[in-house]
Structure 1
């Protein structure tokens, strides 16, 4: 019920505009009435306009009576003249008695014999000759009223015009903004997504403009991400095709030698078989990496099943597993475990992939004569920090890997609302992991 009748900011602005316009136009009306009345009052006081008009009306009435040979009893004819004048009331007296009163609005005729002092009530008396007798008359004139009416009419008209102008200015401001939004949306439709939508005010139209801007930014970001993903996939396919082609070509060559018996001795045969197995495992390793990459990149954040673990116990366990791998491969290490208790919410399988990738690279490219250093600590009671560093084996041939492992790790960590970075400085290789706790 409340939502149904809730007023929006645009409606409230319109209501305030109506109230403001009404107040301004009302003030203009009253001001115009005051000024107009003041001007007319000064004019009537300083001039003899009313007196002149009254004398003219008295003479006109006398001439009307004389020209039409009216008797004192011809009330209808006298009433007709009064009606035609609009701003005149006529009183007829005979021997000090009020006989008739002709009202310009209703033309009411009074009864005879009503005793009244005419001088005190109706101003000066004028002698008038009827066809059958002599009498007296007084006249009440309101000729100035028509000018006050004109001032009132002009004040109403001017106030109404001001009211309409203010409303139209407000509406024009909003319609102009709507037209501007329409033109700017057409610019976006034309493909110029970098164009910034103009924002004015803080009503629903401004909110609409902001929403369009946010939508535009989201669309740009989506397009950029798609371009990046397309470029990354293209680079990945190119790199993987090269990395797969090399061992695959060698494998086909070894198998051809074996099939066509081009080996010289049994020892050569066993060597070719051994090399074939190595190339086959290399191809399998690359295909597993590729499968893992697409599995991770095609999994949404909400698809990750997160579980809460005791942080120190879990991290120590996973790193101990990797340290055993290092030890079996002839590496020695320095491990500094975390001392601050914490809880962490992760997908265990995904995080294991990260550690497998990192320590697998260490076994391939690290210098066994130098220690591998691992340090874990909690920062600001909010972040788990894991730092891994090792010396690079300078005796290895340049390894141009696809980088698929680190890309997979980065995607997994990002899905856990964290970040991972890898850097190489001189002969040192650093990996830094940050996870929310």
Structure 2
């Protein structure tokens, strides 16, 4: 447990390493510059005559202070009080070859080798100071090199400290810049551009965060696209089933009108009308159940229920049913069958019925009653070919053909077949191809 507590993150380690390395480099630079400064000071030439007047003035000021305050030669505290007010001036009092006061004595004790040089007049190396109770020799030194050394120490120290903070701030600036880039990227993602990818060249938790955000945006974009696809599928499904329901519903209404108007010859024909109504009602019920099941099962795609059936009987049933319904509505229909050999189809019966239901609906809306509607079915090279053609009504834009035909083509495609439609010289052609099986 305690190991996890002291374990640092990659970002923490990186920042600590940056601070440590910057501090170490700045210390090395400081030591190097200090040594260079000391070397320069120790080897510089200074004209001592420049400081002759300063030394004489300092000696005279000290004598005036001793005289005015009647200072004893043994009163070291009074001597030190005057010495503290001097600026980079070193004094040493000697009595009978014995040093009684040295203003740099504390420095000599701490640092044996001090970088300063005494500069005294060549003819008068010392000044005799008269105290209340005796005399002592005063030696005055102007600490010129000490002054330069102190200033260089100060400048080099400030430079190295600034260099350290600049190095640290540059790292934090990069960190802040990367955080702002992440913030900008998140704002772009919030604006809806989920394909935008945030870039990061770091190798720490910031990059891990960027990668997490990019993965999340990709997941959201994928989810959004899936929702759009699902929404479109739902729209297509509702549209196609609504289109499919209209045809059998129109047929039901047509047969009901025939029955109500008494347009049947005998009880047999009446029973046939009722049977047609029953068949179309079952088809409507199946289509609505399909729609309800789709939404009930969390909008999943329709699962095709394929089964192997006798193809001859099924195709004859579909074409005969369509022929009968169209003739009842006054259309001329010709069905030509070339299906002598028995074959089998692997189909979803309800979906294939939807295809022929759409074909029948389009014929009712767009075919001419004055021209025959011709449908043929034949076997060629283990394929079932169903063709249909009819003359379309004049000035017919055929706009509403799209929804039903597109869905029919998709259904046939899922049965490993093909459905093509085209118009030539006002003649509408349909060609459907389905694979057949000679043995179940």
TM-score, with structure 1 as normaliser:
0.61
1:218 offset after TM fit, Å?
Answer: 3.1
Residue 332 of structure 1 corresponds to 343
The number of residues matched between the two structures is 348
Deviates more, 1:246-255 or 1:205-214: 205-214
Distance 1:210-1:363 versus aligned 2 partners, 3 A rule: closer
Cα 1:99–1:152 change in 2 (3 A) is closer
1:41-80 to structure 2, matched below 5 A, reads 41-43=42-44, 45=45, 47-48=47-48, 61=62, 72-73=73-74, 75-80=76-81
- Whether contact under 8 Å (1:331, 1:369) holds in the other structure is no
Matched residues in 2 for 1:254 and 1:83: separation? 127
2:322 aligns with: none
* Unmatched tracts of structure 1, length 5 or more: 108-123, 305-318, 335-354, 373-389, 411-419, 432-437
| d(CA) in 2 for partners of 1:358, 1:35 | 98
- Report 1:77-156 matches (<5 A): 77-85=78-86, 88=90, 90-94=92-96, 98=98, 100-104=100-104, 126=126, 128=128, 130=130, 137=137, 139=139, 141=141, 143=143, 144-156=145-157
> 1:218: which partner in 2?
219
Q: 1:6 to 1:332 in 2, by over 3 A?
A: farther
Partner in structure 1 of residue 165 of structure 2: 164
Cα deviation, residue 406, structure 1 = 6.5
Q: Is the 8 A contact 1:18 1:167 kept in 2?
A: yes
Structure 1 residues 255-404: aligned runs within 5 Å: 255-259=256-260, 261-298=262-299, 322-323=307-308, 331-332=342-343, 357=348, 361=352, 369=379, 390-394=383-387, 400=404, 403=407
Give the match's secondary structure for 1:130.
strand
Q: Cα distance, 1:166 vs. partner?
A: 1.4
Matches of 2:18 and 2:174 in 1, distance apart?
Answer: 12
> Distance in 1 between the 2:64 and 2:73 partners?
14
Question: What residue number does 1:309 align with?
Answer: none
Could you tell me how far apart the structure 2 residues matched to 1:427 and 1:136 are?
132
CA RMSD of aligned residues (A): 4.8
After superposition, the Cα gap between the structure-2 partners of 1:197 and 1:72, relative to the gap in structure 1 and judged at 3 Å, is closer
* Worse-matched range after superposition: 257-266 or 156-165: 257-266
Distance 1:421 1:207 in 2: 47
The answer for the alignment partner of 1:178 in structure 2 is: 179
Tell me the equivalent position of 1:13.
Answer: 14
Which stretch of structure 1 is more off in the superposition, 246-255 or 70-79? 70-79
The verdict on how the C-alpha distance between 1:33 and 1:131 changes in structure 2, with shifts beyond 3 A counting, is: closer
Pairwise CA distance, 1:404: 8.6
Shift of 1:70: 5.5
CA spacing shift, 1:258–1:51, aligned 2, 3 Å: same
Residue number in structure 1 paired with 2:204: 203
For 2:243 and 2:281, locate their aligned partners in 1 and report how far apart those are by CA, in whole Å: 15
Q: Is the 8 A contact 2:127 2:138 kept in 1?
A: no
- d(CA) in 1 for partners of 2:99 and 2:43? 36
Note the alpha carbon deviations across 1:342-385, whole angstroms, 9 max, x for none: xxxxxxxxxxxxx863897599999774576xxxxxxxxxxxxx
Q: Is the 8 A contact 2:308 2:347 kept in 1?
A: no
| Deviation per residue, 1:171-222 (Å, 9 max, x gap) | 2222223233333433443444454434342333333333333333333333
2:92–2:99 Cα contact (<8 Å) kept? no
What is the Cα deviation at residue 42 of structure 1?
A: 1.6
How big is each residue's C-alpha offset from its partner over 1:43-83, in whole Å with a ceiling of 9 and x where there is no partner? Answer: 2x554489867787667656655676666455554343344
Name the CA shift for 1:278/1:368 in 2 (closer, same or farther; >3 Å). farther
Give unpaired runs (5+ residues) of structure 2: 108-123, 315-340, 357-375, 391-400, 421-430
The SS at the match of 1:100 is strand
Contact kept, 8 Å, 2:26 with 2:160, in 1: the verdict is: yes
